[in-house]
Amino acid sequence: MAGAGRFCQSGHMNVAADRDLMEILDDSARWQAVVAHDRGADGCFVYAVRSTGVYCRPSCASRRPRRDRVVFFASAADAEGGGYRACRRCRPKESATPDPWIEKIRRACVYLENVEGHPSLATLAARLGGSPYHLQRNFKRIVGVTPREYADACRLRTVKRRLREGGDVTTAVIDAGYGSSSRFYEGAARKLGMVPSIYRRGGAGMTIRYAIVDSALGRLLVAATARGVCAVAMAASDAELTRALTREYPAAKIEAAEGALARWTTRILAHLEGRQPRLDLPLDIQATSFQWQVWEALGAIPYGETRSYADVASAIGRPTAVRAVARACATNPVALAIPCHRVVPLGGGVGGYRWGVARKKRLLSAEAESLRSRPAPAARASGGGDPASDRKEPSARDSLEPSSPGVGPRRVKQSGAPRA
């Protein structure tokens, strides 16, 4: 889920995927803010239009310019230094009218990060002033998530920190504000992606097997636990891939096992070649609730099609969380299985990609070409197709050990931790 927001120069709080991970906005994210007329981005940057010589706030209500005519500046002074003049409509040189809810929501975030237990919305509203309805509405508008989701993320972060410090599971859970260990296992434990005691030891006691094969996009690594695939990555060399896997699971037992993962690597290679548009792999990955929302939406994007970051944000019911969506895409640990390459900037281009922009371009091009060359379904509807082609292909989850959760591209499910 989206973590705590950050303040830009004007003091506005912006949506962020995680307070410790949010980076300076790139041009794609800035353009998304302009398209959305995002007031929260005012003060973080200004944009100028080459054809008019005017610069504006991101929230300016003027007609949207063409993307190829827009240039971004960190401040009004920089824009004027570049020869642009201030817009008379949005007056970007003047201080923005402060949002009265900004300070209240900041205080709410601080309170939720430090309070013991789980205060009700009514209690929080009474403490800050205002009705529970308006608090809920403005909290989600500014931070991108509800107060309850924010509090859950804070508590889970506390559990992770205590476990990493070497504390026992029960103490870490109680100190984080969970009433009992059973409450923790019912809701939050599954987001760790593994048993809490294993997470505390950096994955110690867990075995991860991996295989590296050649692909059209370079060397491809597939890694899995006993419960499912935990990593799919691409790079130029095997050494780079194994180093990244070791950094992710520093204390786990990591071993090469190409034969054991042959079925999954074969499916991925077939998918890359366009022979298997639907990639069905069981996943065992850790994520926040917001990330799961985004990744489920990515799984719903049809093969050969793309969506913008704004489209995905709207699809999950959070149209202002464009930058948080972009960050969730960037932290996807399983390339192809969760098709984050199908998300592109609204203003054009392919945007960024964790495994390289060149690979993203080739993926999108290959999928589009495969879709164009695919025969029309009319022959099938008239009974002219091969009956064998209608047989259901065995699911990848059949290769798992008992109780392994399955995940398909249309609906991503996170794996659960064993019950206490």
Is 230 known to be catalytic? no
Residue 36 domain-assigned? yes
Predicted local confidence at residue 283, as pLDDT: 84
Beta partners for residue 209, in sequence order: 224, 255
Inside any domain, residue 419? yes
pLDDT on residue 160: 60
Q: What is the pLDDT of residue 255?
A: 92
Same-domain pairing of 330 and 215: yes
- Give per-residue pLDDT as tens, 330-348: 989 999 999 999 999 987 8
> Is residue 181 situated within a structural domain?
yes
Check whether residue 176 and residue 239 sit in a common domain.
Answer: no
| 154 and 215 co-located in one domain | no
Residues 132 and 236 in one domain: no
CB 383 within 8 A of CB 151: no
Same structural domain, 309 and 256: yes
| CATH code assigned at 230 | 1.10.10.10
Secondary structure of residue 397 in the 3-state scheme: helix
Considering 187, 222, 237, which residue would you say is the last residue of a domain? 187
Residue 310 included in any domain: yes
**Domain of residue 181, CATH code:** 1.10.10.60
With H, G, I as helix, E, B as strand and everything else as coil, classify residue 210: strand
Contacts of 391 (CB under 8 A, 6+ apart): none
Buried b (16+ CB within 10 A) or exposed e, 52-66: eebbbbbbbeeeebe
Q: Does residue 117 form part of some domain?
A: yes
Based on the fold, state whether residues 72 and 158 are members of the same structural domain: no
Same domain, 49 and 138: no
Does residue 119 lie within any of the structural domains? yes
Domain that includes residue 153, residue range: 100-187
* pLDDT for res 161: 58
Token pair for residue 72?
């971004």
Q: How many domains does the chain have?
A: 3
In a domain, 359, yes or no: yes
β-bridge partners, 6 = 14
pLDDT block averages, 10 residues each, the chain of length 420:
37 38 55 83 88 93 90 91 92 74 86 80 89 88 78 70 50 43 41 48 73 94 89 94 88 85 90 83 79 89 92 89 89 93 88 92 90 63 40 37 33 36
Q: Of 39, 60, 86, which residue constitutes the final position of a domain?
A: 86
Is 340 a known active-site residue? yes
Indicate which residue of 56, 60, 87, 90 is catalytic: 56
Same domain? For 251 and 345 the reply is yes
Asked, for residue 388, whether it belongs to a domain, the answer is: no
Same domain, 260 and 167: no
Strand 307-308 relative to strand 46-49: parallel, antiparallel, unpaired?
A: unpaired
